[in-house]
Amino acid sequence: MKRYVLFISALFIIAALMVSCGGSQKAAVANSDMETIADPFQDLTDMANQIIQAGGVAAVGQGQSSRMDLAKKKAVTDAQGQLAEIFNLKVNKLKKNFQEEIGSADDSEINEAFSTVTKTLTSQILRGAVTKKVKYMRDKSTGKYTAAAVVVIEPNVLNKSILDEMKTKRPKLYERFRASKAYEELKNEMKDYEKQQNQGY
């Protein structure tokens, strides 16, 4: 009787081990269905990030169409929409730095001036945006093209537009701004970007 009990117990243990191993195998099979896919446009994203770090404004847009030219047009339009948002963030950051430096966070003149800069320049700046690079992928089964485009507003264009707008509309505030560290940062951005471009980035 004792041997019979031991035999039954052994069967239960073996069965449990088989179920456990079988479960692991199923999990392994499920995991094998997962595939890591590299971003085909990562190099464009890296390019945009380098331009942003140098003080410019850049974005990567994507578009899809059965025609290559329309896919590019959609990608550029997508990137321009992102550029408008990034430009607004840049102007707001510039305003904040200027306000903190002169200790006048509630200065209505500063708020109004930078708000005017944003409204006036957004459309003008986008018209001056440059398409730096475009890549295409084609789906063989559908014949459709996917395009990705890096669209850039270079620091010299961007910052000069901001300064010119402020100088024209708010000359007194412009003189205060020229004496600030925020102004020096803009000038340095333009120099750094020019140096980067000369080095072939």
Domain range list for the chain: 42-198
DSSP state of 199: T
**Going edge to edge, which strands form the sheet with 57-65?**
57-65, 145-153, 130-138
pLDDT of residue 166: 80
Would you state the structure tokens that stand for residue 140, as one six-digit string?
């063989």
Contacts (Cβ under 8 Å, ≥6 apart) of 62: 41, 74, 75, 78, 146, 147, 148, 149
pLDDT of residue 118: 73
Ranges of residues in the chain whose predicted pLDDT is under 50: 2, 4-7, 11, 24, 26-28
pLDDT of residue 131: 93
